[in-house]
Every structure is written in C-alpha cells, then in structure tokens.
Chain A
Amino acid sequence: MLPQEKEIRPSWIGRLMSWILRAGEIPHHVAFIMDGNRRFARRSGEAPIHGHKQGFSKLAEVLSWCEMLEIPEVTVYAFSADNFKRPQAEVDGLMSLAREKFHQLLSEQAKLKEKGVRIRMIGEIDLLPSDVRQPAAELEQKTRDNKTYTLNICIAYTSRLECVNAAKKLLAASESSKGLAIDEQLVSKSMYLSSPPQLLIRTSGEARLSDFLLFQCQKAQICFVKPFWPDFSLYDFLGCLLKYQKVDPRSSYEEPLSAKQESYLRKLEESRAKQLQSYLK
C-alpha cells in the first residue's frame, strides 16, 4: 500500500495461505495497535527510537500484506495523546520520525495515486508541532481523491478526546438546528473515524484497548497477540484472520439517517476540509 524502498516479498507459503484465506470472509477494515516497539528496542539493548523506526518498517510490510489480502481500509494507532507524557527526547524523536515519513510520502504522491491510497489523519492534530501538522494536513488533502485503499493514521489521538469533540459538535449543531435527533448512530458518525473496523489486532500481549477506537470497536472482533509489533509476522496476521473467519456472521444493519442528520454530517465534512486548509498556511 505504501511505496517502499525495498519491496519485501512474503514467502511462497505466506502467499499461498493468503490466497486460500481469501476464499473465506476477509474483514474490509482492520485496525492495529502497534504496541511493543520500546520493549523490542530494550531487548536488543537499543534506544526506544530504534524500536519506533523498526515499527515503521513493519507498518509498511503489514500494509503490503493487507494489499495482498485485498483489505481496503486499515487504521493504525501511531501516537496517543497520552504519549506526550513520555520523556521529551523520545517525543521529539517520534515527531522527527513522523515529519520525515510524511515528507517522504508527499514526495511519492504519484505512487500513492497509482495505487489509489488515501491517507487520513485521525486525532487532535492541533496538538502536533506545526512542522508535523503541516505535512500531515497536506498529505491528507492531496490524497483525498484516491479511492482504492484508505489508511487512517491515529496521531495525537485518544477515544475520549474524540468523543468530547463529537459531543461539542453535536451540542453546537443542536443549538443551531432545532429538531436534530441525537442518537448513538449520529454520535458514531460524528467521530473523527466513522467507519467501524471488523477486526482489531493488538500486539505485545497486552489485552486492553488503551483508549483506542472504543466507540468504533463495540462490535469488532479483537485479537491480542503476543509478539511485539516489529516481530509481528505474516503468519501471526493470518492466524488472526483464521480466528476471525470462525466467528459467527455479523450483522451490520444501520437505521437510515434523517435529512437533518445528513445535512449536519455534510457540514461536519466541510468544516474538516476548511480546518485542514488552515493547517497548510
């Protein structure tokens, strides 16, 4: 999905297994909590930033697996708003890595367009330093017309802050638009990320959501795996998909939205586009 300097081709067994699994149900939206980068680095006696760099390489590899399995939407938990509490040197290293990768992706827009990859930034983008915010906004704006794959990068994100933002928007809208019906469906659609994942995978053995997509994952199947994120292999991923295929079929019926609710969501999308534009200045 992301252009890579050196394509890492999975083994023939991995490709064969992926082909076989595609005969069954494959989720069309998978979310990843990429946990364990620092513990991976500590195990090798390296600094945490080394773990995060390995983590980014693993992300590019995992996205290529998702492309091979024809999974059109992927969401990743890149940086929590709580991670700003980490030592400043580590936060600066992560921001520097993010800046470098966003600029690299901006330079490869043609390849992103060829693959049809849309990149969206999900979170409190205002909290990011301006030299990270600006390329992030530019990347989202320049890939918004790409339709084949969607990569949602949760950065400076927590689910509770996302919910507070949705509550503010709905409270403001209910004051200006009398008769707007506020229900859980409209709350979900007011979140930064409105499309729910079918499968959530967390690495490193921790069995919790850590304030990630709490509202979107209410009906998702959640798979906790032991390997650290940089150690996550194609076979671990295929194992999660095998387990996913064994679960009972899920129903995804949604009540149709009213005209006022649709109008409110259109205005929300427009204000988001304006906000992104303001970050580019």
Chain B
Amino acid sequence: MASRRSRYFGIVQVLLLYLIHFAVSCFSWFFKIVRRLNPFKSSKLSNKFYQSPEHVALVSYKNSLIDSSQMREIALELLQRGCKKISIWDPDRRMEKSKIDWSELNCRVLTPKNGGSTVSDSIKRMKASSVSVREVNVELLDHFIGPNGEEPELLLCCGALDLVSTKGYPPWALRLTTIYPLPSPYSKSQVNEVLSRYSTVSQRYGK
C-alpha cells in the first residue's frame, strides 16, 4: 500500500516537473518573440559608441545551430567592430574540419589536441628545463603555459541559451574573462548587443 502510494506520488512529481518545464519554455519563447518585435532597443544600441575588447574567444557548442559558416560571420563582425584577435575553442573539431581558412581571418582555432593540456605540458617542460620547486610561481607557470594562456577579455558561448559552459577552454586563460551566451539562431545584431553590454562591465580585481 505504502509503495503504491509512493509510486503515485512519484508519477505526480514527474508530471508536475514536465508541466513546469513546458510552462517555462513557453514563457521564454514568448519573451524572445516580444524582444525580436521590438526594433527600438537594437537601434539605440547601434548608435552607442563603445570600446571593443581586443581579444575575443568563441566556444563552439556541439549541438547548436551555429555552424562553421556562421562562426565565420561572427568572427568577421567582431573584427569589423574593432576586435583585433579571435580565438575559437573547437572541442569537437567542427571548425577544424570545415574548409574555412581561419588564419586568413586572423583567427586561431584551438582544439583539445593543440590547446587542451596546458598545465600538464608546462610541468613537463619545467622538469625538462630543470626548474626547481622553489622557483615555481604564477609568473613562471604563466611563462611556460605560453600563448594558450593569453587571456581573452570576452568569451562568447555560441549556441548557449541561459547557462554557459566553457567546454574545456584552456582554464588558465579565463581568470578575469567576461562570459556571455550567444544563442542560436545567430543574427548580426547579437554581436552589437554583447559588445555594448560588455562596454558597461567594470573590473574590481578583488579590491
């Protein structure tokens, strides 16, 4: 009797959970439509002058609708808006396998093969260089991690909706990086919006 009751409660619990998720999805979809129908917000942002970050990183999400050609458009848009360097974290190697010449766009593509093992490789290089334990500090480790430790000011998670995940982007580099989602499907105004939003960020560095 008790187990039957608990089974019914379990079924009710799961049904209520699905109902809540469905209601939240409907509300989010409705809210997105309302935002898209409001042109005034976009035009106000495009008129605002802002300083773009120099180095922007993009994270490619496996199941998102943002494919390699759209990533290329995002990179071009960022470069046109004043960004000087783009790093693309490509954990599933989708960008690497595309036919796009990323170096022509001043973009570097990082994969787990060429950017994933930064700290363990640095420790091996320190050992090979006979570095003593006493000498190891933040600056030395930063030096041995090298270019993969360059900190982007902004990281855009291409395909993320509400929550973001860095998907294994070299973590040493993300100490103070601002992280925003760039939901799919991609539209040009999104880059303008995130850069405008980024321009309002202030860093306190722990103080």
Query: Are A and B bound to each other?
Result: yes
| A217 vs B119: C-alpha distance when bound (angstroms) | 15
Is A80 an interface position by the 8 A CB rule? Answer: yes
* Nearest residue, chain B, Cβ from A38: B204
Q: Chain B nearest CB: distance from A250 CB in Å?
A: 9
* Cβ-defined contact, B171 with A218, below 8 A: yes
* Nearest residue, chain B, Cβ from A172: B133
Q: Given contacts A23-B16, A214-B171, is CB(A219)–CB(B136) below 8 Å?
A: no
Q: Chain B nearest CB: distance from A14 CB in Å?
A: 13
Q: Given contacts A20-B13, A207-B178, A219-B168, is CB(A167)–CB(B163) below 8 Å?
A: no
Q: How many residues of A contact B (CB 8 A)?
A: 55
Q: Chain A nearest CB: distance from B164 CB in Å?
A: 5
B interface, how many residues as a size bin?
35 or more
| A219 vs B117: C-alpha distance when bound (angstroms) | 15
Choice from B21, B124, B206 contacting A182 with Cβ under 8 Å: B124
A residues sitting closer than 8 Å to B (CB atoms) are 17, 19-24, 80-83, 85-86, 159-161, 163-164, 166-168, 170-172, 174-175, 182-184, 186-187, 206-211, 214-215, 217-224, 240, 242-248
| A167 vs B180: C-alpha distance when bound (angstroms) | 30
Complex interface: chain B residues within 8 A of A240 (CB): 163
Identify the 10 closest CB pairs spanning chains A and B, nearest first.
Answer: A82-B206, A214-B171, A23-B13, A221-B163, A23-B17, A243-B162, A20-B16, A211-B175, A23-B14, A218-B168
Complex interface: chain B residues within 8 A of A186 (CB): 120
Is B137 an interface position by the 8 A CB rule? Answer: yes
* Cβ-defined contact, A187 with B120, below 8 A: yes
Complex interface: chain A residues within 8 A of B16 (CB): 20, 23
Is B196 an interface position by the 8 A CB rule? Answer: no
Mask of B114-156 contacts with A, CB within 8 angstroms, 1/0? 0011011011101100010100111001000000000000000
* Cβ-defined contact, A171 with B179, below 8 A: no
Complex interface: chain A residues within 8 A of B167 (CB): 218-219
* Cβ-defined contact, B207 with A221, below 8 A: no
Q: Chain B nearest CB: distance from A58 CB in Å?
A: 20
Complex interface: chain A residues within 8 A of B161 (CB): 246
